[in-house]
Amino acid sequence: MFSFMNNSSNKNNVLANLFDTSNYSRVIIKKIEDIAEHYKDSVDEIILKEEFYKKASFLSGNFIVEYVDDKNYTCAYILYFQDKNGDSYKMETKSNLLDITRLSEDVQNNLNEQKTIKFDIPEPSEEFRKKYKLVKI
């Protein structure tokens, strides 16, 4: 059995705030990887909560940055889990439109060329699990 000891009292706070970019709105993103890195801890927390609350096992996932038009882009994640009965299921969400001018010109051009860029989401590290105090009791 596990206990999830986190300061957040609402497990949905992470989902609601995942794509809230207000805390880095003045930063110009210089590498496309920085977008995925920005959301890494939030996605890891979602994975841990799903494992804890639903007794699921994380299988794999993708973080997706998608070009919309010359003014906007979106971010999304797709996570795959296996429940305690062995059935697989998918969990996903997508951001509202995000301001593309917060991306450097190189990143904008790269995204415009590729249209969709996917990053694999690895399992949360043991260090991250300890940070969020997922402990065996």
Cα–Cα distance measured from residue 121 to residue 96, given in angstroms and rounded to the nearest whole number: 21
- pLDDT-derived band at 134 (thresholds 50, 70, 90) equals low
50-108 pLDDT, tens digit per residue, is: 999 999 999 999 999 999 999 999 999 999 999 999 999 999 999 999 999 999 999 99
- pLDDT-derived band at 27 (thresholds 50, 70, 90) equals confident
Exposed/middle/buried for residue 1 (C-beta within 10 Å: 0-12, 13-18, 19+): exposed
pLDDT for position 89: 97
Mean pLDDT, rounded, of the chain: 83
